[in-house]
Amino acid sequence: MKRIRLHYTEKDYSRRFKIITYTCLGVLVFVLTFVLFPPNAIYNKIFSKSDQVATPIFDKAIADSAIFMHFYDVKYLEKEDTVVFEMDTNYLTFDAGNYIIAVVSAGCKYCKQSCGLMHDIFKRDGLPKERYKILVWGGDNAHCARFLRITKNWEYETYRISPFLAVDMVYGNFPTFIKVSNGKVVGAFNYRGISESDIRDFIGEEN
C-alpha cells in the first residue's frame, strides 16, 4: 500500500494556528456578547414572562416615578373641541384586581382606532374606567391632547413615556395592551386581539 505523506512547513502551521485562534476568538466573542452579557432586547426577551411584553422592563419602570409624566385634571372642552391637562411626575400604581394598560404612539393610526374601540367597550359594558390606563409616547403635549380627543380617552388615567421605554417595553409593537393582575403582567394582546367578551371577563373577574 502506497503511503501518502503530508508535509507541513512553518508557514502551514502558522496558518492553521491563525485559523484556530480566530475561530476560538469568534466563539468567545459570541458567548460573551449573546450568552453572558446579552443585549438588553435579547436579555429581556429571554427572561420575560410574556412574548409581547418585556416584563423586566415593565416591572422596573413601575418602580420609578421619574419616567412617567402623569396627566391630571384632564378636561374636554366641548366648545373648543380640545383636551387640556396639567402634568406632573408620578408612579403608575395598581390596586388589587385586574387592569389593562395601553402602550401606544400618539401618531399611530391603529393605536387611535384601538383606543377608540377600548373606550366604546368600557363604556358599553359599564366597566370601571380606573381599570384602563394609557401609556402614550410621541410628538409633544399637543399631539397627546389630540390623541385623547380623537379616541375619547380623556376619561382614563394617562401617562406620557419616552419612546425608548415604550419600544423596549413592548418590542416596538404598537398598540400593545398589557393585562395586569395584582400588579403583575399576566398577558397581552394587540389591536387584532381585541375581544369585547375577553376584556369584559378579565376586568370583571375581581372587580
CA-CA distance, 24 to 27, in Å (whole number)? 5
Domain map (residue ranges) of the chain: 47-204
Identify the pLDDT of residue 19.
Answer: 61
Residues 6+ apart with CB under 8 A from 55: 44, 47, 48, 49, 185
Identify the pLDDT of residue 205.
Answer: 72
Share of the chain above pLDDT 90, in %: 64
121 φ, ψ (degrees, to nearest 5): -65, -45
Identify the pLDDT of residue 206.
Answer: 59
CA 31 to chain centre: 27
- Assess contact for 148 and 75: CB atoms under 8 A: no
pLDDT higher than 70, residue 42: no
What is this structure's pTM?
Answer: 0.77
Identify the pLDDT of residue 139.
Answer: 81
Helix (H, G, I), strand (E, B) or coil at 8: coil
pLDDT higher than 80, residue 13: no
The residue among 34 and 84 whose pLDDT is bigger is: 84
pLDDT higher than 90, residue 11: no
Q: Which helix (H) or strand (E) holds 170?
A: helix 163-170
Query: pLDDT per residue over 126-178, tens digit each?
Result: 999 999 999 999 888 999 999 999 999 999 999 999 999 999 999 999 999 99
Residue holding cell 402602550? 103
| Statement: 47-204 belongs to CATH 2.60.40.1080 | no
Reported as a pLDDT band with limits 50, 70 and 90, residue 33 is very low
Q: Which of 18-22, 57-61, 81-85 reaches the highest mean pLDDT?
A: 81-85
- Assess contact for 54 and 171: CB atoms under 8 A: yes
Average pLDDT, the chain: 83
Identify the pLDDT of residue 32.
Answer: 43
